[in-house]
Amino acid sequence: MKEIDPFLNGASETAAGFESWGEWLFARQQQCSECTDPYDDRHFQDDVDEDDYCGIRSLVRESIQNSLDAQDPESTEPVRVLFRIGTLNWDEENQKRIHSLFARLEGPLKEFGFSLQDGMRQPMKYLVCEDFNTIGLNGSVDRIIRQSEPNAAEEHFYWFWRNSGRSGKRGGTGRWGLGKTVFNAASLVHTRFGLTLRKSDRKRFLMGKSVLKLHEFEGNHYEAYGFWCRKDENCDPQADRMPLPVDDETAIQEFSQFWGLTRTNDPGLSLVVPFLQNISPKRLVQLTIGNYFVKILQGKLTVEIHGEGKPILINAQTMNSLVKKYFDPKKENGKTLNRFIYFAENLELFQKCLGGKVLVREIEIPGENVPNEPLLKNAMGSALTSWREEFFLGKILGFRLRFRLPHSEENDLWGYGTVFIQKDANAKKDDFYFTRNGMLLPKPKGVPGIRGLFLADESDPDDHLSRFLGDSEEPAHENWESQRLEGKKWQRGFKGRVGFVANIAKTLNKILQFENRKADLNAFASFFPDTRNISASAGKANSSIARSKEKLKEAPGPLIRKWYEIQKQTGGFRICSTGMPIPPNAALEIEAAYYVEKGNPFRSWNELDFSFYKKINQKNTASCRLNEKTFRFSSENANCLIPSLAQGIKGNVLKIQILPSEKFSFKISGFDPNRDVYVDVRDISSEEEEDLNEASLH
């Protein structure tokens, strides 16, 4: 690419097309103005991996949330959201156009350490976000709206463009009016452009907004918020006036072509984020699925992601293949995906729950008392005995809870919440998911040993519970905080109601336990397969099981839920059949590690601890075999699959092939008797085992 210095080659001259579109308009500071720089984006800064933009999770969550809230109520089609990461190369015409567009912002942007000249020395990444089967930004474009007006909530254009920290939403997912600022924060020039085609009047409007700092320009002091708006030839460009959107069809068509927008005649909103922060299509896929799997599996949302390579379509039909590709816990163990690292382990549960394959029981907590464990238990009545049995056997239970939400201005409000819960010894706190209006709240969690899903108002057209919970959320919509309900007209026990929802997994787990069988996950180690984080003791007196504070006085009969189980053995463990049918091409993956005081033992493993394999060299060819000097292996109807060096060897992982038979067993011993061993067993029967050499164990 020929490098062109826009400051030396005439780019400051009027660029054809751009000057006719509009101009930047910032309000002058007044004598009574308070000097405060915006800090809206601080609410959306996440703890992410070093290579990821710190607001990427919030960008995905807020953008899709806005589209879902704008769904066309008359359409039977799912909301469709399109993300496209584009690249703008700097030929001479593009350099002139972009410099012309952002010249007014050049000085203020230096406060953020951004130089327009430096930014134009490499191709510019930009993001296009478009939604369809939505209504667009309806409402007035040329006046200030008062919240007291009867239809103020329907003034979408006003709330989206002319407000920060204020929202007209009442029952939707958003509340704070800050979500739209994620687009500005994702831009190195802190700017977003938006083109809307409105369903109400079929009109198109184009506007831009920049969120900078208080700044000086040509001897005057200006506010931080500025609008790229319709140019008024009869007014001073820096005069105080209401910024109006561009409505010229020629200008709008040129804008659409320049940024590659796909909208033709479908209502909705198209957003452009220029000079994009470091965002990858892969992260967009992962965070879309993790945050909005409910709407996707329900068939109410589809998302297309365009970047390098082929477009990626996310819908209910592609979910399995995408989760398998993008949610491998052995590869994705960083901060960005923290809540979703083990998402794949819960997908089957979600598909059953959201696909109508789980019976949902109606439970009403009567009166206006704050719902709690005793009231819920009493409302379950005599059916509780059979539900406890189902829960004990690992079946998925579904409940639709109904309880009152006292309000100072509205009478007889009821909240509805649907909860699915399953007992599973492998489950961690992160395996219970809470959603409101289909969006995940990542911070509320469950309890170990439980998988599940809570849905606020999925079957309630009045969405009172969603309103209630939404009013208790912080700007990023990641958690429920009851103190935020102070002064919001919710009455009598609102803190207890928030706590009831946030602790529903713990409450149901306690209610559904047999009263004479207190849950002790370690005590069940001999009966549960897939025991992540359950110790298969290498010693006796010092084992995790032996140190367990709480014991079952009488162990129940074998809890057979799968075709294999793990059993404690002296100095090791045993994997064996349970009597359930063994699937065709059965195979297991076993991962072991020594206990560590802090952190995940599997991630802390290294070859200095132990290795199941020993590398050998024969005739200049490197290979490996089982480390039979340290470990003792024995098996019945099972073969250990030895990986090749080309595949990469992880010394604490074994893959076992089960031969066709009615029973099998695989034993291993030789661990350090003074250390506890953690074991994870995973069924990989459905996975292809290519390039593996079998080694029979006899």
Question: Distance of CA 86 to CAs 1, 123, 261, 307, 473, Å?
Answer: 17, 10, 11, 7, 34
- DSSP single-letter state for residue 343: G
Provide the percentage of residues in the chain whose pLDDT is more than 70. 80
The pLDDT value given to residue 172: 45
| Tokens at 167, concatenated | 């929202």
Tens digit of pLDDT for each residue in 309-329? Answer: 899 999 999 999 999 999 887
Tens digit of pLDDT for each residue in 227-243? Answer: 999 987 766 655 667 89
Distance CA 380, CA 368 (A): 17
At residue 169 the predicted structure's pLDDT band, cuts being 50, 70 and 90, is low
- How deeply is 182 buried, as exposed, middle or buried, from its count of CB atoms within 10 A (0-12, 13-18, 19+)? buried
The residues with which 25 forms a beta bridge, in sequence order, are 227
192 within 8 A of 270, measured Cβ to Cβ: no
74 within 8 A of 201, measured Cβ to Cβ: no
| Tokens at 636, concatenated | 């019945």
pLDDT, averaged across the chain = 81
Question: Distance of CA 670 to CAs 40, 569, 571, 572, 574, Å?
Answer: 57, 11, 6, 6, 12
Distance CA 519, CA 315 (A): 38
| Tokens at 613, concatenated | 């394999």
Residue 548: pLDDT above 50? no
The pLDDT value given to residue 525: 42
Q: How far, rounded to the nearest angstrom, does the alpha carbon of residue 407 sit from its chain's CA centroid?
A: 32
Residue 284: pLDDT above 90? yes
Nearest CA-CA partner of 134 in 179, 87, 81, 194? 81
361 within 8 A of 383, measured Cβ to Cβ: yes
Distance CA 642, CA 577 (A): 22
Q: Is the dihedral of CA 405, 407, 412, 415 positive or negative?
A: negative
Residue 170: pLDDT above 60? no
Rg of the chain in Å (alpha carbons): 30
Its pTM stands at 0.70
The pLDDT value given to residue 535: 40
The pLDDT value given to residue 13: 41
Nearest CA-CA partner of 365 in 416, 323, 410, 316? 416
Higher pLDDT residue, 443 or 428? Answer: 428
User: What 3 state SS string does 244-261 have?
Assistant: CCECCHHHHHHHHHHHCC
Task: Mention every residue, 6+ apart, whose C-beta is less than 8 A from residue 443.
Answer: 478, 479
